[in-house]
Each structure stands twice: as C-alpha cells, then as structure tokens.
Amino acid sequence: MLVMKNINKIFQTADIQTHALRDFCLQVNEGDFVSVTGPSGSGKTTFLNIAGLLETYTNGEFLLDGEDVGKLNDNGRSRMRNQKIGFIFQSFNLIPDLNLYDNVDVPLRYRGFNAKERKRRIEENLERVGLASRMKHLPSQLSGGQQQRVAIARALATDPRFLLADEPTGNLDSEMAKGVMSLLEEINQQGTTIIMVTHDAELAQRAKRTIQVKDGRVSELEIVASNTDKAIA
C-alpha cells in the first residue's frame, strides 16, 4: 500500500521557490490501477518521481508497503526501487547498446539474482509481452510499441509490487497505445498495482481510479471501479 500524507515538494533556487506539491495526500491500495492526469506543470511528474523514490520530498509522510520512505538513505531507496517498484517511461528508456535480453537483465543484476534465475525471469517476461523470439534484437530494431513492451518486461522482471508508468503511450500511435494499455490492464488483473501518469483522457478512463492533480494538489477524485479505494483529501 502507498500512503502519502501532506507531502510537500519545494524546488529552491537562489531567487525562486517553486511549490511542486502542496500537502499532497493519496492512498493507493494493493491491486489498484490509478491514472493521474493534470495539466502540464501541475505536479504529476513530481508526484510520480516521489512515489517512485526517484526524488525526495521536502516534508510530509510517505509510507510504501508500511515502510517510512523518509527514513531511507540513498542506498535504501535504490534497494526499495529495485525490489518493489517497476518503471515504464514515456520514451521507453531502453539501453540502446544492449539487446532485449540484456536490457531486461539490468535490474535483475542489481537485485543480485544468479544467472539461472535471471535467465528464467528474462525469458518468462519477454514471453509475457510477446517478444521472446526477439531477445537478441537491439531496441533500435523494434517498433515503438515493441520497445515499450520490452520496457514493461524489464519493469515486471523483478516482480514489483508497484508499477509506475510515466506517459507510457505518449510516444506511440493509437493502435500501439491500445495494445500497451491492454497489457497494463492484464498485468493489473494479475495483481500488480499500477500508477499511470497520462495526458490521454480516454486511456485514463480505463484505469480503476483517476485522480487529477492541479497546482500540486489532488484536486479531484473519481472512483471508477472500486468503492473501497479512496484518496485522503
């Protein structure tokens, strides 16, 4: 479970102080599929970065799976990212010099799995996204949709509790976007909690919950599929 209470994030330069998140409160339960929408500069990427432990927050309380994230040092956050969180990025962020097999291998090596276990997980997850036959291909030899599938396989390979997706369909045409979305829905149905930032209202509607971020706060909450899940406003 992800719980954020009164999270503030202030970016400070010499002259300017920017409040990216203001008393941001949210609870995401296990199995949720939450889409996060909002205008540019609203704070949704900052939220995603903090939720994914990519960035620290200025103050507030953030519990991830019951652990107080604020008490973790950099290594602790790295470990938690590796063990509990999977990332899907708008521009896929595959490593261009590595083939698909090696790309999926990267987080598994940081996890310290042995070669046999890594091989099993890589093959299983590339199979899961339908790219097992292309594991020796380089990312540049794939279409955008296929690259995003590889990124999903990489994110899933470590069996994360949370999948954080930053505009996962932003660089895809509508057909590919639908395919990726269907895959995310399937993954969610298998029990992985997903938080997805998107501009696309139609895709956002396909999530179980949609929240809108405006001026660094959760401004609106729509529960689509679950009456038990709610945001702490």
Partner 1 sequence: MLETGLIIRALARNKIGALLIALQIALTMTIMVNAIFMIQDRQQQMQRDSGLDEANTFYLTNTIFGQDYNIQAQLQTDLHMIRNTPGVVDAIQINAIPLSSSGWSMALQHEPGEDKDAVGTAVYMVDEHAINSMGLELIAGTNFTQEDIELRKDGQSTWPAKTIITKAFAENLYPDDWQSAIGKTVYISQTQPMQIIGIIKALQAPWNGWNGVERSMLVPFHRESKGSYYFIRTEEGQRDALMPAIEKALAESDKERIIRRVTTVEDTRKRSYRQHNATNKILTTVVITLTLITGFGIVGLAIFSINRRTKQIGTRRALGATKGQIMRYFMMENFIISTIGNVIGCIGAVALNMWLVNTFNLSPISFELVAFGVVALFIVGQLAVLYPARKAALIAPATATRTI
Applying CB under 8 A, the residues found at the interface with partner 1 are 45, 48-49, 52-55, 74-75, 78-79, 81-83, 87, 89-91, 93, 95-99, 102, 105-107, 109-112, 138, 154, 158, 166
DSSP labels for 146-195? HHHHHHHHHHHTT--SEEEEESTTTTS-HHHHHHHHHHHHHHHHTT-EEE
Least separation in angstroms between residue 156's CB and partner 1 is 12
Q: What is the CA radius of gyration of the chain?
A: 17
Nearer to partner 1, 33 or 47 (CB): 47
Least separation in angstroms between residue 71's CB and partner 1 is 17
Task: Identify any residues that bridge with 27 across adjacent strands, giving them in sequence order.
Answer: 3
Nearer to partner 1, 42 or 45 (CB): 45
Least separation in angstroms between residue 230's CB and partner 1 is 27
Q: Are 153 and 125 in contact (CB under 8 A)?
A: yes
CA 228 to chain centre: 22
Nearer to partner 1, 40 or 228 (CB): 40
Least separation in angstroms between residue 121's CB and partner 1 is 14
Least separation in angstroms between residue 228's CB and partner 1 is 30
DSSP labels for 91-125? T----TTS-HHHHHHHHHHHHT--HHHHHHHHHHH
Q: Give phi and psi for 148, each to the nearest 5.
A: -70, -30
Nearer to partner 1, 94 or 187 (CB): 94
Nearer to partner 1, 99 or 229 (CB): 99
- Count Cα neighbours of 48 within 13 Å in the Cβ-side half-sphere: 29
